[in-house]
Amino acid sequence: MHRWILALAAAALITVSAASADEWSKHYSVSGKPEVVVRSGEGSVEVQPGGAGAVDFQVTSLSWKIPADVRITENQNSNRIEVDVRTPNTHWNWF
């Protein structure tokens, strides 16, 4: 009985977390070998291989809103793609 309650609570938590996530995505076409530069202040970066002739980016924010809180700057120059993701400054100064 306790396992079912725990499983239902975990499923509800995952559903709420997924529902509050904000996402941004962008598709780039390239000819040849792409050069990718990713900068992320406090976020984690995951790189996965994709199909030839394309580079796809996806940014997911669980805490902040895109673009209100999270600033994403992107640029493509030929086969060079740069994406810069900046989150709000959350440093606390107590003194």
Regions of the chain short of the pLDDT cut 70: 1-19, 90-95
What pLDDT is stored for residue 7 in this prediction?
A: 42
Using a 10 angstrom Cβ sphere, with 0-12 exposed, 13-18 middle and 19 or more buried, the burial of residue 38 is middle
Q: In what order do the strands lie in the sheet with 71-77?
A: 35-40, 80-86, 71-77
